């Protein structure tokens, strides 16, 4: 079988792709401090792997651990996807295609294949990225902003009046309305800020590509933003893996 791997800034996600094109359930974990043994046990302990297809925004040392673990497990082919001018019906909107992050590229491919038409892909993690693809597969570009947790951390570390004395209230991430304490004001405001940007992108995308682009939301922090969206959205936690499956030449 083929193992599909999505290595982000802090988390790794993976799923098995069977020979008949069936994509298995997604697994995910923080990988900070992982050893070769950790990579081997987590990703390769439950399957007979022949091929690994990965999208990674991590550094070479992390990618090297994945390669070593895959070789140890007997994988004959380990391939890291690169951003290209065109793939799977999607045409890169960047003047220099290589400058578009591979995670955004693969998510756009997965989103376009899922939507079978125009879509807005919001990937909310350490960073929040938003990309738009038209009905005919043109990638129109997008935005990158800090994710909600990074926004919170930036405020707490960079603003002298906002420190650890403002402890979390324990409120639900789905709570809306004006906050009545500083910590909730920070956390709720950061979630709403990302949600508002996503909603604005859906509105702008409708003007650019026509009414009805589908909003697809993925990423480890998606759950913090989804309750605050005004636009109808589909939550696809495995969207990058779906894109990898498309690139693997399989049907998701």
Which of 142, 146, 116 lies closest to 205 in space, CA to CA?
142
Exactly one of 6, 59, 103, 238 is catalytic; name it: 103
CA-CA distance, 21 to 23, in Å (whole number)? 6
Give me the phi and psi of 212, to 5 degrees please. 90, 25
With beta carbons less than 8 A apart as the criterion, state whether 142 and 129 touch.
yes
The residue ranges of DSSP E strands in the chain, in sequence order, are: 2-7, 11-17, 27-30, 51-56, 77-80, 86-87, 90-91, 119-124, 127-133, 139-146, 214-218, 233-235
The side-by-side arrangement of strands in the sheet containing 233-235 is: 139-146, 127-133, 119-124, 214-218, 233-235
With beta carbons less than 8 A apart as the criterion, state whether 124 and 190 touch.
no
Active site residue 103: yes
**Residue the block writes with tokens 């038209």:** 134
* Residues that are catalytic: 103
């Amino acid at each position: 079988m083929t193992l599909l791997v999505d290595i982000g800034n802090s988390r790794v996600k993976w799923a098995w792709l069977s020979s008949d094109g069936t994509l298995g359930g997604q697994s995910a974990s923080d990988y900070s401090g992982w050893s070769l043994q950790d990579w081997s046990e987590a990703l390769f302990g439950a399957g007979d792997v022949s091929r690994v297809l990965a999208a990674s925004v991590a550094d070479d040392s992390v990618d090297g651990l994945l390669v070593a673990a895959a070789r140890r497990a007997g994988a004959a082919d380990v391939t890291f996807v690169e951003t290209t001018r065109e793939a799977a019906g999607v045409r890169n909107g960047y003047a220099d295609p290589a400058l578009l992050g591979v995670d955004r590229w693969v998510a756009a491919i997965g989103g376009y294949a899922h939507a079978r038409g125009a879509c807005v892909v919001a990937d909310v993690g350490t960073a929040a990225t938003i990309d738009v693809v038209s009905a005919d597969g043109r990638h129109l570009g997008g935005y990158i902003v800090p994710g909600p947790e990074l926004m919170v951390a930036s405020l707490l570390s960079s603003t002298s009046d906002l420190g650890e004395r403002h402890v979390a209230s324990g409120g639900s991430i789905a709570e809306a309305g004006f906050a009545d304490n500083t910590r909730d004001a920070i956390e709720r405001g950061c979630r709403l800020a990302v949600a508002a940007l996503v909603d604005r992108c859906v509105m702008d995308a409708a003007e650019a590509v026509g009414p009805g682009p589908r909003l697809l939301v993925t990423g480890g922090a998606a759950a913090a933003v989804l309750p605050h969206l005004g636009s109808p959205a589909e939550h696809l936690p495995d969207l990058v893996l779906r894109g990898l499956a498309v690139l693997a030449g399989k049907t998701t």
